[in-house]
Amino acid sequence: MATAYRFLILYPGLMLLLLLMPLSGCGDSGADGSASTDTTSESSSSVTSSSDGGTGNDSAGGSVNGNTGEVASSFTPLDPAKLGTVERDVTYGNAGGVDLKMDVYYPKSATGPLPVVMYVHGGGWTRGDKQDGAGARAIPDLQDAGFLVVSINYRLAPEYMFPAQIEDVKCAVRYLRANADEYSLDAERIGAWGGSAGGHLVSLLGVTDESDGLEGSGGYLDESSRVQAVVDMFGPSNLTREFEGGAIGQALGARVFGTSDRDSEILKVASPVTYISADDPPFLILHGDSDELVPPWQSQELYDQLTAAGVPATLVMVKNAGHGFSPQGGEVSPTHQEINRMIVDFFRQELM
């Protein structure tokens, strides 16, 4: 009988320490990400990591952000009645006459200014909803860990062509900062994660600022759209390179970006690798090793360029996983629940 192993994922300074401990039992999480016995087969994922600075707490109890050096000041305590609740369809901005909506998931407990993480769904930039996608599985675990979690909708192509999508994502971050008191959040501890097109958008969010011309006009332009941590799951990073699956195939490229010419300037503008610099936030990148829609080398290229610039980054290739971490030829390793734990632990390290 095959021996089962448990992954213990630790993030001291973003260095991933992978400890393999034999277990007597064997189990997996379901396709919906529900928890069961946290075990995997003896096959493991490929983990590549660089180091970083991280965040911490000061002796007086205020949070200190390792990326900005700023200490959270006074805050408005969260109404206890909101703990563990969800507010649906909160308007976070208006762009092109469209009200932009988010769901707000309050943590189960709160003792101070809240770190916040934002989920961005996938769907080829043309479809999807804020409650959908592989990344949405992590929302309950992040609530349990003490994060304020928001999940956003954004304008979709082809009705709204790029850069409408990234403009809305940036607007959501600015909204959170502008309303820090209302949500009892720490405006200097904001992270973002997403999968597929959502992974592309959070990567682009992480590496750009107002000087790059992608802020849009959705509101709160006096606030920064920068974030302090990014989790990119199987998102394309370089749209100027041709690849099987056609994330920028002729039809989709024309519907989203207005072109299928890979030499077009708009595809350079839309590519996260265009903007990478040493001041970018830490990244956790997860990709299925059997993904045929967005090939794994897209994440490898992002990781390589981030680390070459000195940006802390970790790349995890998920074994036997296709796009969306769907099983391909064997048990997915790490499991969905273990991937959720990686996401939670990463955000804890960088934002708490």
Cα separation of 12 and 94, whole Å?
40
Task: Yes or no: say if 194 and 237 are a contact pair by the CB < 8 Å rule.
Answer: no
Cα separation of 287 and 301, whole Å?
12
What are the distances in angstroms from CA 332 to CA 218, 251, 317, 329?
A: 40, 31, 11, 9
pLDDT at 106: 98
In this structure, is residue 15 part of a structural domain? no
User: In the predicted model, is pLDDT for residue 15 greater than 70?
Assistant: no
Q: Which of 48-52, 164-168, 222-226 has the lowest mean pLDDT?
A: 48-52
Cα separation of 58 and 320, whole Å?
42
In this structure, is residue 21 part of a structural domain? no
CATH (domain of 129): 3.40.50.1820
pLDDT in tens, 52-99: 444 443 333 344 444 444 444 566 899 999 999 999 999 999 999 999
Which has more confidence, 70 or 328?
328
> Look-up: residue for tokens 């099987």?
244
pLDDT in tens, 69-82: 444 456 689 999 99
Torsion over CA of 321, 156, 281 and 275, rounded to 10 degrees? 100
In this structure, is residue 3 part of a structural domain? no
In this structure, is residue 26 part of a structural domain? no
**Dihedrals phi, psi of 340, to nearest 5 degrees:** -55, -40
List beta partners, residue 317: 46, 287
Q: Which of 25-34, 174-183, 285-294 has the lowest mean pLDDT?
A: 25-34
pLDDT in tens, 147-197: 999 999 999 999 999 999 999 999 999 999 999 999 999 999 999 999 999
Total number of domains in the chain: 1
pLDDT in tens, 254-276: 899 999 888 899 999 999 999 99
In this structure, is residue 336 part of a structural domain? yes
| Domain, as residue range, for 174 | 44-351
Which has more confidence, 23 or 342?
342
CA proximity to 286, closest of 49, 6, 29, 95:
49
| CA 77 to centroid of chain Cα atoms | 27
In this structure, is residue 263 part of a structural domain? yes
In this structure, is residue 22 part of a structural domain? no
Whole-structure pTM value: 0.82
Average pLDDT value for the chain: 84
User: 6 falls in which pLDDT band (50, 70, 90)?
Assistant: very low
In this structure, is residue 134 part of a structural domain? yes
pLDDT in tens, 112-133: 899 999 999 999 999 999 999 9
pLDDT at 50: 75
What are the distances in angstroms from CA 35 to CA 32, 60, 227, 329?
A: 9, 37, 29, 22
SS3 content of the chain, % helix, strand, coil (to 5): 30, 25, 50
